[in-house]
Each structure stands twice: as C-alpha cells, then as structure tokens.
Amino acid sequence: MEYTKGEWKVTRWNSTRGLHIKVGSVIIASIEKITPQNEANAHLIAAAPAMEEALEKLLRVVKGDGNRPHHNACYGEIDPHPDCALCNSITIEELGYKALALAKGKE
C-alpha cells in the first residue's frame, strides 16, 4: 500500500476552526476542532513520512549492504565508504531530529 508522497504539513482552515494535514493542495486528513491535543496529534501524523524515512535509513545502516556490515561509517568511526549512498547523504541523526521536530510541530 502506498501513501501520498511529498512533504506533509499541518495547516489551519477557517482561521481557528480546524486543521488539515496536506501535501500541496491534497488534503490527507481533517480535524474539525482545534485543541492542543488535536494539534499535537496532527503534527505527529504529518511527521509519519519523515519518521519512516529515518527508520528505513537506520535499518539499512544496521543491516549493512548484505556483503559487509556498515561499520558505523556514518558516525565517522571509520572512513566512509566512497560508493555508499548512506555515508554520503544526510545522517541518521539529522533525519531523526527532523522527524522529531515535525512530530512536535516545531518545523
């Protein structure tokens, strides 16, 4: 099953009436009443794709490429593998902090 790809954002509709979780103009979900708990829930839902990305990357690092373990290269304990997309991209730590910020409504 596929979810709607793109950056999920929480937006208000009718100023103070409700919340939408959207990707561009596509509404993923609506929350009809704004409360602190509903707003926190909306941000947590909107962070789901970023959290999935962080978890998938974490699992690839833990598992390795199938031929050799990843050896924590992304953390600088050894030289990065020159052909490794994981070593040469955003770090797991950065992905994790971004996902948490989204989940808490801080980004």
* Mean pLDDT to the nearest integer, 75-87: 56
35-60 per-residue burial string, b: 16 or more CB within 10 A, e: under 16: eeeeeebbbebbbbbbbeebeebeee
CA 77, CA 74: separation in Å to the nearest integer? 8
Q: What is the pTM for the complete model shown?
A: 0.67
Number of domains present in the structure of the chain: 2
pLDDT digits (tens, 9 = 90+) for 19-64: 999 999 999 999 998 999 999 999 999 999 888 887 777 777 666 5
Span 14-20, mean pLDDT?
A: 84
Q: Do 12 and 63 reside in the same domain of the chain?
A: no
Q: How far apart are CA 73 and CA 100, in angstroms?
A: 23
- Answer yes or no: do 34 and 58 share one domain: no
- Contact status, residue 2 vs residue 28, Cβ threshold 8 Å: no
More confident of the two residues 39 and 80 = 39
Task: Give residue 56's domain range.
Answer: 48-107
pLDDT at 31: 93
Q: Are residues 67 and 23 in the same domain?
A: no
Residues 64 and 94 both lie in one domain: yes
The torsion angle over the Cα atoms of residues 25, 31, 36 and 41, rounded to 10 degrees, is -80
